[in-house]
Structure 1
């Protein structure tokens, strides 16, 4: 089988399945695992070069709707009669289901069961630890600083927060992502500030940019130096690597 992935989360699903050796091309933003870095690059996930996709003669393309604007990739695949499936996970359960969907599309049903069981087992293990933690800190997740974008209740980071033994301070807003402002965040007074700016490497985010916001010196998170600069690749992509992020978050909150 010759497989192409059109976004990082799909590539990471292939790795969790142990099937990256089937990949013959990936989008420009796929950066994990190391073994895929030598593969042909097909453009950014919103502007895939479908001529290159067609030239690689894939048996299956893993398309996605995880970012608005990806629809045109799917329309192009359909027009060219290139075989594809579409993944659009919004929750941890969706990610588990996508492991099954992908493996079954590759005619590997046994691989799908093993991967789904492994995913569920790791998740349940952390949930049990989180449930027995001594406190449930309030977490403010920042996807982007200005304007402020943060996840609401209909997002995997609310699930990740709860599984780690905390809670998303914006869990009362029934959206996957919402735009708000620094005053709103301040009024919710989180115990932790969790910074994972989409598309920005952790090393480029400076804590001073967070601390020096007007009035934020009054926040419990700032007073207690509970500002977590986190890897966006472990928290902002709907892939099985969220489990790595979840396990790390639990350690940071409770160890």
Structure 2
């Protein structure tokens, strides 16, 4: 194994930890067949073609510490200049905060903005190569919320004094706050704070415009064979509330439950949101129409770009605005329009299982 240019004093004590963490990461993730992992990376329980929902975080999770405590912790730290992100949403946060030039590595699914596609890859989000990650000599690693993979990496990163920071927004407002926080960590606070203020302002305007309108019952379809939906995902349910919508499966015990068509028919949603764009959206409308779901028969099947909708990053604000307009079409009794459909997959991108 090639030695890194970290200095003998720093490298030697961490060598054993490094090897152990690499083996543990692979074994732990492989053994956890139903575990959901880093948002924007992958969910083992969601079908390959489906966008991946974020599991609800446990109470007391470090990613959800009080904002004041996080800010205090970040104060006095030297700005990071070599950052690795372990989820595509975090890559997008870094660019939004003005810190794109400080990124040195990410995971395979990071593809936005276009500049992110040129970054070296350290794994796919489930399996992270510790050796590859350390070869990039990071001074900060950003992850979504604790998972088997990140817990396995933590001992080696700690031995080398490389901070591992978690960011798992549970509301649209949290996304704006995370942009500011990334700016503090990367030394781009002025640009980040301006971007965060713009996002926060847009969120407030959406809530004021749509939040008190007639409530629309919504079914969000994230996988089709088998059928998956969004359950108690706090972030997407907040987006729906912002638009005056309510998720028909919001009370599910799971973040991304598998459901059967019969239960959807019984719930009688007024609108269906699907990740399938173009001809696939039309196929989903035909499927639900054949089952005599009134919303589909009335043409109320709407497609939103799954990467924007299911990644907990800045683009979710635009996806929420699109969702609000879709639900207003429902209130007006209008069917979905082709212009509001999500794009067809582009040729140079394989189907993704990540938001």
Task: Give the TM-score of the pair, scaled to structure 2.
Answer: 0.63
Q: 1:65 aligns with which of 145, 170, 176?
A: 145
Residue aligned with 2:314, SS: coil
User: What is the SS of the residue equivalent to 1:162?
Assistant: helix
Q: Which residue of 2 aligns with 1:3?
A: 83
Deviation readout 1:110-163 (Å, 9 max, x if unpaired): 444333322211101111121364x33211001222333222244222111121
- Describe the shift of the 1:172–1:254 C-alpha distance in structure 2 as closer, same or farther (beyond 3 A): same
Deviation of residue 18 (structure 1)? 2.0
- Determine the structure 2 residue equivalent to 1:227: 301
Alignment of 1:156-195 (within 5 A): 156-173=235-252, 175-195=254-274
Indicate conservation of the 8 Å contact 1:63/1:73, yes or no. Answer: no
How many corresponding residue pairs? Answer: 249
Q: Secondary structure at the match of 2:257?
A: strand
Any conservation in 2 of the 1:99–1:112 contact (CA below 8 Å)?
yes
Bigger mean CA deviation after superposition, 13-22 or 145-154 = 145-154
User: How far has the Cα of 1:203 moved from its partner?
Assistant: 5.6
Q: 2:185 aligns with which of 105, 110, 117?
A: 105
- After superposition, where does 1:48-127 map in structure 2 within 5 Å? 48-65=128-145, 69-78=149-158, 80-127=160-207
Larger mean CA deviation between 231-240 and 103-112 belongs to 103-112
The 8 Å contact of residues 216 and 270 in structure 2, kept in 1 or not, is answered as: yes
Mapped partners of 1:78, 1:240: distance in 2: 29
Provide the C-alpha distance between the structure 2 equivalents of 1:210 and 1:233, rounded to a whole number of angstroms.
Answer: 21
Deviations 1:145-196 (A, max 9, x none): 2333222244222111121232212233365333322111111111111112
User: CA shift at 1:9, angstroms?
Assistant: 0.6
**Which of 257, 276, 282 in structure 2 is aligned with 1:207?**
282
- In the TM superposition, what is the alpha-carbon distance from 1:206 to its structure 2 partner? 4.9
- In structure 2, the CA distance between the partners of 1:75 and 1:180, relative to structure 1 (3 Å rule), is farther
Compute the displacement of 1:81 (Å). Answer: 4.0
2:231 maps to: 152
Q: Which has the higher contact order (CA 8 A, sep 6+)?
A: 2
Of 223-232 and 165-174, more deviation after overlay is shown by 165-174
Deviates more, 1:89-98 or 1:24-33: 89-98
SS of the aligned residue for 1:218 comes to: coil
Structure 2 unaligned blocks of 5 or more: 1-80, 330-355
1:33 CA drift (Å)? 0.2
Q: What is the RMSD computed on CA atoms of the aligned residues? A: 2.6
Partner of 1:177: helix, strand, or coil?
A: coil
Contact 2:83/2:102 (<8 A) preserved: yes
Structure 1 residue runs of 5 or longer lacking an equivalent are none
| Cα distance in 2 between the residues matched to 1:47 and 1:116 | 31
Structure 1 position 23 matched with structure 2 position 103: yes
Say which of 196, 218, 232 aligns to 2:275.
196
1:80-110 deviation line (CA, Å, top 9, x unaligned): 5433212222332332332233222224444
TM-score (norm. length: structure 1): 0.85
